[in-house]
Structure 1
Amino acid sequence: MFDFMPADVMPRPILRDETISALPQTPEFARALAATGKEPMVLSQLKDTVVMRRKLLGRIDVAMVNRARIDKPLRLIEQISEQGLHRTPVILSPETPTPALARHGAVPLVSPAYVGLVDLTGDHDQRRARLHQKWRNRLVHAERQGLRVTRQSLPQTPAHWLFAADAAQQARRGYRSWPVDLTLAYARENKGMAKVFEAHEGKDIVAGILVLRHGRGATYHIAHTTERGKALSAHNLLMWEAMNWLAKQGCEQLDLGVINTEDAPGLARFNLGSGARLHQLGGTWAYWAPMGRLLRPIAALDKRLMSTGISGYC
């Protein structure tokens, strides 16, 4: 999978700091959901696991547990049932590989992906030393271009240029991200936790990124670079400035999202060059209580799908 990458950008596996929750499992995210009318369930007996409610095809109720550590699968299923959802299909996307789900009748749907995690601990020089050489060279190039970097909290306007750029990119690449109203709610309900960094060449904005803070972690949410910005290596400069600012705020880890070397090799190379290491997620599973026992043999046969290594899928 990673054969095309230079040796200095080859990924190195990492075990995620278990004390830093992924964004979908944070109080900040739960507040944003509630503010948009999508009040989540928070299972206090299971380390405040966040359970979202969605409608598939506009009519089928499902519960979703995204990027939670599922140390006790049966207890999680029981807790969801006790909340009146015993007949509701549950989509489970664990933070780590959780093959034990198969024993309880969960069926694997999608094999595990990998996310990139940047270590923000240490001082300025230590963070810079963790950058890969080619990435660091592009950063030096950007630092010599006279670019002006600004930082501000995300304005409460759906017309922000980053949203328009991101929507165009989603349409072009065929994927879906957060609704704009959810991103705005995150910024509104978590003051100062959604920051926009922009690179300016004179009066022109040539690149921008939006990062979301949550506890001791942060997530890289939206980014866009113009053709001129690419020529100036502006994205490298913004990422570096964001990493340093986050570290000063007490953040210890930056989540760059899924590393996809097949569909977005350039972005994967960029993210790994920033010093990110790989963390394997647990894939996606489906569980429906009325069919749990009947599906158990199928789940056992298919669970090998959920233990794919780095060479198989990311």
Structure 2
Amino acid sequence: MQMHRRHFLDPYPLPLQQHPLYGRALSAMGRSVGEAWLGPDAASPLGHAQWVERRLGPLRLHWLARGPIWLQDAPKDAPSQYRRDAVVKLMSGFSPLTLWLIAPDQPDDLPLSGAYRLTQPGSEHILPLSSDGDAMLAAMQGKWRNRMRRAARDTLPVHHRALDPLRDKPLLDLEISQRRQRGYRALPTVFTLAWARAAPGATRLFLAGDPSNPLAYMLFLRHGSMASYHLGWSSPAGRHACAHNLLLWTAMTHYSATQVTHLNLGPSTPVNQGRDHFKTGAGAQIRRIEPTYLLTRGPSTLLPLAFRRDPV
């Protein structure tokens, strides 16, 4: 199971943070990553959890984001108490000096009687894919679809391929400059490069215009039967040409033909409603992100220590 865990999990629409490639990329960055299969039968587990570990003096902090995940071949009607007990059992295998930060994928997966909520719930945009291109077009808002068709009608060339960590570093630098200008945060470039080196085939770079000097690009990471928009950039000419509309449509048609069922277009951004409108215009649906909770088996006096450092 351990040797083939990536392939075992690939049929499932896993959150990015729960896919083995996420753990491999963080490990390549020098982070300590742990995992566990959940359930009484190791050959047919009920679920899986992956977390990032950090030491805080004598304490250990485990950051479990968007998990555990419960496999689709597990009983759909498995009682919530069973899943909560599985989390308690997971925690009990570690020292009482281990603090857990858990942002569950499902709202009823934690023993909340012993949990401290640290954040408010959020939301993200999930775009369903279909082998029926007409159905995906019909789910779009009219203005969004017209912009995409205009870019296609203007014969804006689009190319896509795997990300090359050396060749594409200048493109990543363009996004870093854009990030600073617009004041948003994203995973560091070292993570992007570590993912690309761990699994080049799980990256897809969509370029608009001349491939050697593109007007815009979008980069996606595939994790199981889901792919996530990771980062992108556009020049003023690319925005004028509605390049990102055509790039996203190209990504939708590419991934729908390769057994990907959903695209994660990222979290909602109240400070940038234009970006949210772009996602919903493409047909994305809004899904809740559960809050992050602090759980510990040790004394409550340890709790303030969890707030001193970012766990990841």
1:146–1:201 contact (8 Å) kept in structure 2: no
Change (3 A) 1:225 1:219: same
Change (3 A) 1:294 1:177: closer
Cα offset, 1:274, TM superposition: 0.7
Instruction: Name 1:306's counterpart in structure 2.
Output: none
2:208–2:217 contact (8 Å) kept in structure 1: yes
Instruction: Name 2:291's counterpart in structure 1.
Output: 283
Does residue 25 (structure 1) correspond to residue 34 (structure 2)? The answer is no
2:147 aligned partner, one-letter code = R
Pick from 175, 196, 200: which aligns with 2:205?
Answer: 196
Instruction: Name 2:179's counterpart in structure 1.
Output: 170
Residue correspondence of structure 1 range 63-74 to structure 2 within 5 A:
63-69=62-68, 72-74=83-85
Instruction: Name 1:241's counterpart in structure 2.
Output: 250
Cα offset, 1:279, TM superposition: 1.0
Cα offset, 1:55, TM superposition: 5.7
Instruction: Name 2:119's counterpart in structure 1.
Output: 110
Instruction: Name 2:106's counterpart in structure 1.
Output: 96
Change (3 A) 1:99 1:20: closer
Instruction: Name 1:148's counterpart in structure 2.
Output: 157
Aligned residue pairs: how many?
274
Does residue 255 (structure 1) correspond to residue 254 (structure 2)? The answer is no
Cα offset, 1:144, TM superposition: 1.9
Counterparts of 2:214 and 2:58 in 1: how far apart (Å)? 42
Instruction: Name 1:48's counterpart in structure 2.
Output: 48
Cα offset, 1:176, TM superposition: 3.1
2:99–2:296 contact (8 Å) kept in structure 1: yes
Change (3 A) 1:124 1:61: same
1:63 aligned partner, one-letter code = H
1:195–1:212 contact (8 Å) kept in structure 2: yes
Change (3 A) 1:80 1:114: same
Counterparts of 1:40 and 1:280 in 2: how far apart (Å)? 26
Cα offset, 1:49, TM superposition: 0.8
What TM-score comes out, normalization by structure 2 length? 0.79
Question: How big is each residue's C-alpha offset from its partner over 1:233-275, in whole Å with a ceiling of 9 and x where there is no partner?
Answer: 0000000001110111110111111012x21111000011110
Counterparts of 2:183 and 2:98 in 1: how far apart (Å)? 29
Counterparts of 1:203 and 1:66 in 2: how far apart (Å)? 37
Q: Which secondary structure does the structure 2 equivalent of 1:245 belong to?
A: helix
Q: Which secondary structure does the structure 2 equivalent of 1:250 belong to?
A: coil
- Of 285-294 and 128-137, deviating more is 285-294
**Structure 2 gap ranges (5+):** 1-10, 40-46, 70-79, 304-312
Question: How big is each residue's C-alpha offset from its partner over 1:155-184, in whole Å with a ceiling of 9 and x where there is no partner?
Answer: 123862332133223333444322222211
Cα offset, 1:78, TM superposition: 3.4
Q: Which secondary structure does the structure 1 equivalent of 2:118 belong to?
A: strand
Change (3 A) 1:54 1:132: farther
**Structure 1 gap ranges (5+):** 1-17, 296-314
What TM-score comes out, normalization by structure 1 length? 0.79
Q: Which secondary structure does the structure 2 equivalent of 1:95 belong to?
A: coil
Change (3 A) 1:288 1:168: farther
Does residue 86 (structure 1) correspond to residue 96 (structure 2)? The answer is yes
Counterparts of 2:300 and 2:88 in 1: how far apart (Å)? 11
C-alpha RMSD over aligned residues: 2.7
2:59–2:97 contact (8 Å) kept in structure 1: no
Cα offset, 1:185, TM superposition: 1.8
Does residue 75 (structure 1) correspond to residue 68 (structure 2)? The answer is no
